[in-house]
Amino acid sequence: MTGQTQDRVWLITGCSSGFGREIVRAAVAAGDRVMATARRPETLQVLADLGNGQVSTCALDVTDPDSVQAAVKATLALFGRIDVLVNNAGFLMMGAVEEVTMEQLREQMEVLFFGAAQTTKAVLPSMREQGSGTIVQMSSMGGQTSFHAFGAYHAGKFALEGLSQTLAGEVAPLGVRVMMVEPGAFRTQINSSKSEASVIDAYSETAGAFRAYVNAMQGSEEGDPAKAATAIVAAVDSDNPPLRLALGGDAIDGLRAELESRLADLTAWEELSRSTAVS
């Protein structure tokens, strides 16, 4: 693996905890420089002390276009370039589709989809100009498959993957790469800090049961965020990173089952589907 490995500059969103914090550490360990960001930059002091001046910090609220532009400009002013953008900022809104209010749904989409799109668009001009760069979209196995009570979260991740797959084809001739990361369950703070919609009893056996399962899993997830960060840096190092990088055995198993189910449906209904052609 011999990709862009010398003195890269990373801009990473959502670095106050979880994947964001660990990706900063992994990038520093690889010898790179990082602009670590969060809505409250005072939460990033531990990261600012890493390395030999390799990490700088600034405020970045992905729901505020001015904040996004300011962070990108600050990174370019300090380091002169951005080689890797990691769109990691996010949160989990849990509830059945009917339970989640439209305001809650919009808030989820604003962070997971529009925020990532805003940051991506802000970084692309500099990457196009330098003719290189990698955009890492922190998606989820929930960007391709679904679970009860995760409808709003899935909506954001499915949308992000649609945008990112299209983007990948558009920017490849310009020297820019796109990689979607699809973790399973990892020991990050996303579960403990999630928001929950009001409960409707009719969904107790579906969304309600899965809420209980997720709450019981908290702190015992199988995935190690530090190992995930190391894997992400290794994929970025590659000359040919995957469009989608699944992380965790549960992600591999769940995504494989989802894809096999889709193919089975496509095959089973192929004759009827093809019958719609103009005679």
Determine whether 203 is an active site residue: no
Q: Is 263 exposed, middle or buried (0-12, 13-18, 19+ CB in 10 A)?
A: exposed
Condensed to tens digits (0 to 9), the pLDDT of residues 5-19 reads 558 999 999 999 999
Condensed to tens digits (0 to 9), the pLDDT of residues 125-140 reads 999 999 999 999 999 9
190 pLDDT band (50/70/90 cuts)?
Answer: confident
Question: So what's the pLDDT on residue 251?
Answer: 97
Average pLDDT score over residue span 76-88: 97
* 120 neighbors 171 (Cβ within 8 angstroms): no
Question: So what's the pLDDT on residue 52?
Answer: 83
Q: Can you tell me the distance from the alpha carbon of 38 to that of 23, in angstroms, rounded to the nearest whole number?
A: 14
- Please determine, for residue 2, whether its predicted confidence score (pLDDT) is greater than 50: no
Q: Can you tell me the distance from the alpha carbon of 196 to that of 101, in angstroms, rounded to the nearest whole number?
A: 11
Residue 77 to residues 5, 24, 72, 116, 147, Cα–Cα distance (Å): 21, 19, 9, 22, 43
Question: So what's the pLDDT on residue 111?
Answer: 96
Average pLDDT score over residue span 159-187: 97
Annotated catalytic residue within 67, 126, 139, 140: 139
Average pLDDT score over residue span 70-99: 97
- Please determine, for residue 167, whether its predicted confidence score (pLDDT) is greater than 90: yes
- Please determine, for residue 82, whether its predicted confidence score (pLDDT) is greater than 70: yes
Average pLDDT score over residue span 56-83: 97
* 187 neighbors 225 (Cβ within 8 angstroms): yes
Question: So what's the pLDDT on residue 130?
Answer: 97
Residue 13 sits at the vertex; the CA angle it makes with 11 and 17, to the nearest 5 degrees, is: 120
Beta-bridged to residue 186, according to DSSP, are 223
- Please determine, for residue 174, whether its predicted confidence score (pLDDT) is greater than 60: yes
Condensed to tens digits (0 to 9), the pLDDT of residues 218-264 reads 877 889 999 999 999 999 999 999 999 999 999 999 999 999 999 99
Question: So what's the pLDDT on residue 6?
Answer: 58
Annotated catalytic residue within 16, 67, 140, 157: 157
Annotated catalytic residue within 67, 126, 140, 153: 153
Condensed to tens digits (0 to 9), the pLDDT of residues 254-278 reads 999 999 999 999 999 999 999 999 9
3 pLDDT band (50/70/90 cuts)?
Answer: very low
pTM assigned to the model = 0.94
Picking from 221, 273, 235, the residue whose alpha carbon sits closest to that of residue 138 is 235
Residue 4 to residues 125, 160, 222, 235, 236, Cα–Cα distance (Å): 19, 25, 31, 11, 8
- The alpha-helical segments, DSSP class H, found in 112-197 are 116-130, 151-171
SS3 state at 136: strand
